[in-house]
Structure 1
Amino acid sequence: MTVLRIVWWWRLDRKPIPAKGSPLWQERVAAGVHITFYIVILGMAASGIGMMILSGAASAVFGTPGAMLPNFANYPPRAPHGLGAFLLVGLLVFHAGAALYHQIIRRDGGLRRMWYVGSSGS
């Protein structure tokens, strides 16, 4: 799903135009945060799949009754997976804070620019 979303984002998505008067550094940080979101999500998926394969946990997750989950801390993909979780939460807090900054402090209609609009543009 994430790969499909990335293709949609690059090819078809109508990205919101930057707010008037936004410094270039803010536009670059916003683009960087969005790209980093996708990198972290893909990295977490890869490390999660790696842990499932290396640990043999698939049987416990997908159906063997009474099967116990292994201690995932014993597998190398656990470290990047845990780091990815912290990064994802940090990015989410930063992103929400920036959206609130634009909505409440700058009052530049940031949330309205991000929201889906009908074909009439309203």
Structure 2
Amino acid sequence: MRTILVADDSPALRELISGLLIENGFSVKTAVNGIEALEQAGQISPDLIILDVVMPEKNGFQVCRSLKQEPATQHIPVIICSTKDTQADHYWALKQGADAYIVKPFPENELIGTVKQLLRNSQK
């Protein structure tokens, strides 16, 4: 079973995203802030990471950049999932190394489809 780390400071959104992933056959771990996300990524080496942008300690962009600079985690696909929807946000996420950017609220099939596609691509 593939493991996904979901980092979001909103309990409701963590639960929503986790529930969708579990319903689709994934194992889920969660983090409530950027520091915890980095710690968990190093400990559990998830197959994919979903990051909110606005989080305490370190924001999602900072976490993504740190993950992509670290040899042990740079191979892990990262999805930025945020309410921020400007062209600059999308651009900045990709500059930090994100593999995809999804805007909240999102259709369930968009999130699950993106997760599955990135996991397929990471196996190659």
Identify the TM-score tier after normalising by the shorter chain.
under 0.3
* TM-score, length-scaled by structure 1: 0.27
* TM-score, length-scaled by structure 2: 0.27
**Which of the pair is proportionally richer in strand?**
2
Higher RCO structure (Cα 8 Å, ≥6 apart): 1
**Which of the pair is proportionally richer in helix?**
1
Greater radius of gyration (CA) = 1
